[in-house]
Amino acid sequence: MKMKKKKRKERMTDAEVPRASAEDPSEPEAGNEQSESSSENQPESEAPDETQVSALEMVDYKATIRRIEWMIPVAGTLCAVAAVWPLGWVLATGILLGTVFGWVNFHWLAESVNAIGERIVQIKSREKGAAIVWRGVGRIFLMALFTYAMFRYSVRGLVGFLAGLAMPVIAMMCEAVYEFVAANRRSS
């Protein structure tokens, strides 16, 4: 008659959680006191299920979006301040207006991507397909209208506006550097 040992459950911090070896995940971890006979009755892996993994990924995704949305106005403001003296207030104002539209465009685009993903994954989605399409078309129409108005008013303002529309790209580059540094810190 085989006796199973009771496994003691302890709370561990993130730093204490044992990580699986990338070389051979089937090898038992050092310090594992279960015998082979008791592990036969256990499931092979005690990995988190898909809903837990996707929830963790969503938390990371939302944090990334928040950082990018925060960085867009910071980058736009810094660029506008740097452009005021040598290039004039018209260009700096165009950069600020372009940054605002760039932020709105990025925010609406992120919402649209989330809505499309929800519509694909969930059967009873609260998002309507037509609303998603009209939001995208409206975003493009609004930017085209404002770009035309800037062109009619001032070409220098238009150049600043187009530079401001590029602020989400600068914010995403900053986020890529942040993720690179964070990944290197986690691995060391």
pLDDT of residue 70: 97
Does residue 34 lie within any of the structural domains?
no
String of b and e for 18-55 (b: at least 16 CB within 10 Å)? eeeeeeeeeeeeeeeeeeeeeeeeeeeeeeeeeeeeee
pLDDT of residue 15: 45
pLDDT of residue 20: 44
Contact assessment for residue 83 and residue 151, using Cβ atoms and an 8 Å cutoff: no
Does residue 123 lie within any of the structural domains?
yes
If one counts the domains in the chain, the total is 1
Does residue 50 lie within any of the structural domains?
no
Does residue 130 lie within any of the structural domains?
yes
pLDDT of residue 101: 94
Does residue 21 lie within any of the structural domains?
no
Structural domain of 170: 69-187
pLDDT of residue 157: 93
Residue with tokens 């060391």: 188
User: First and final CA of the chain: distance in angstroms?
Assistant: 46
Does residue 159 lie within any of the structural domains?
yes
Q: What's the CA gap between 28 and 24, in Å, rounded?
A: 9
Q: What's the CA gap between 121 and 98, in Å, rounded?
A: 34
pLDDT of residue 112: 86
pLDDT of residue 33: 44
Residues of the chain with pLDDT under 70: 1-53, 125, 127
